[in-house]
Chain A
């Protein structure tokens, strides 16, 4: 226990110190929100990995591996290929250039400037802000559960300890503190997951022994799609992979990188770093063999940690889980704060703020949003992964197509963009709520496993393409500015 306390105190103290160091470099709202577009490739790439993989992915991914076996490795492979490498190649350069040309600091701000549509800005800011808070609650819950299991701390103490440290360094140091702490957190996560994977594979007798033992438990734990089935496996992989293309806390990394050229090295680094995505699913499968009797699949990774790691290893792993949660939470806080202040308060409601007041407003808003998330997390609703997947579905359905079409198709219509956001979110919500609406007939078996994200994005895609064919493009001035032609 003492070892855990020492490791965590040193680690959390270092994060707080980075917040203080970076506070002097956040002199404007632009510095607070996107680090003044001055961040290098290593910090950008590793902070992307840390913001992408929250504690929910480690604990929840392990739970999926425990329940569904090795087919879940495909989720990790999808995270690396679609959620990371293709996102960097397809979106990185254009998002950086366009947001620079349009002087946009947030995703809703980009929609307003690119499409000349204040409605798209407000809708995106509202949907994204609301569901990011829900997402943050689930991230905080995941961290507190880890404290609970690995350190025997009460749930509320886990929420308060992690919440207070994040709020401190985010409000004080802004985006630069978030990306620098995230880079360190990514390194801790990579070390922790690698150690757990190595030790647990050694304990089970190696990879081949793992496969043989899983096969003996149930052949469906070795085959793809196995016990999960195609609908569940494919739609979940899509949510957590393609979904990143519409997640503002990840896309903002492209705004803030120092130059286009740095995206090259960044793409290689981020791909290598993101490869740890397969490890929670692999170790979850190991846990199915080594700790088969559990009350809940969410206990798979903590139970495996207690079995195969000594106190120092366990403390490093807890630090890794906490790191994963903190970096995601902090990245999201910055996005919500800058979106509320810049998109809703200043641009939406037309309030004027001088630069010093805007910076102060960002700090206060990030604190307020963090405290709200913390209070909700103290009495949390429903299951961790259900909440996360649900909020991802709504946020990605809102932003994915308007962003992608906005940087590749000049003709994209502002009205179609807004309609696509509303229809996408509406379809995702209705689909998720369908089984709970008694008046509607039950979905056929083959369709019931499809997640609302798939339905929401499919509807959003049809609406934005059809609407653009029928509607008018954005004003010429907006298009020329976005493409850097004026």
Chain B
């Protein structure tokens, strides 16, 4: 049983939300670093 007595499959929606926020931040950071490396 996941937090709040939810089944894991339903709680997964919250995990996907959290993962998406991490993905957005990670992409922004990686993209900035890549841009810096590309600069002559």
Taking Cβ atoms with an 8 Å cutoff, the residues of A that contact B are 70-71, 73-74, 76-77, 80-81, 85, 88-89, 207-208, 210-212, 215, 222-224, 226, 261, 264-265, 267-268, 270-272, 275, 278
Interface size on B, residues (CB 8 A): 22
Query: In the complex, are the beta carbons of A265 and B28 less than 8 A apart?
Result: yes
Query: In the complex, are the beta carbons of B24 and A224 less than 8 A apart?
Result: no
Q: A207-B4, A261-B35 are in contact. Are A77 and B13 (CB under 8 A)?
A: yes
Query: In the complex, are the beta carbons of A70 and B25 less than 8 A apart?
Result: no
Query: In the complex, are the beta carbons of B13 and A278 less than 8 A apart?
Result: yes
**Cβ–Cβ < 8 Å partners of A77 in chain B:** 12-14, 16-17, 20
Of A85, A224, A264, which contacts B7 at CB under 8 A? A224
Query: In the complex, are the beta carbons of A211 and B13 less than 8 A apart?
Result: no
Query: In the complex, are the beta carbons of A272 and B21 less than 8 A apart?
Result: yes
**Cβ–Cβ < 8 Å partners of A272 in chain B:** 21, 24
**Cβ–Cβ < 8 Å partners of A73 in chain B:** 10, 13-14
Of A81, A261, A264, A270, which contacts B16 at CB under 8 A? A81
Of B6, B9, B23, B32, which contacts A85 at CB under 8 A? B23
Of B13, B25, B32, which contacts A74 at CB under 8 A? B13
Query: In the complex, are the beta carbons of B9 and A224 less than 8 A apart?
Result: yes
Q: Which of B1-40 contact A (CB under 8 A)?
A: 4-7, 9-10, 12-14, 16-17, 19-21, 23-25, 27-28, 31-32, 35
Complex Cα gap A73–B8 (Å): 13
Of B12, B13, B27, which contacts A89 at CB under 8 A? B27
Q: A265-B28, A267-B28 are in contact. Are A222 and B17 (CB under 8 A)?
A: no
**Cβ–Cβ < 8 Å partners of B24 in chain A:** 85, 88-89, 267-268, 270-272
Minimum Cβ distance to chain A for residue B33 (Å): 11
Query: In the complex, are the beta carbons of B21 and A76 less than 8 A apart?
Result: no
**Cβ–Cβ < 8 Å partners of B16 in chain A:** 74, 77, 80-81
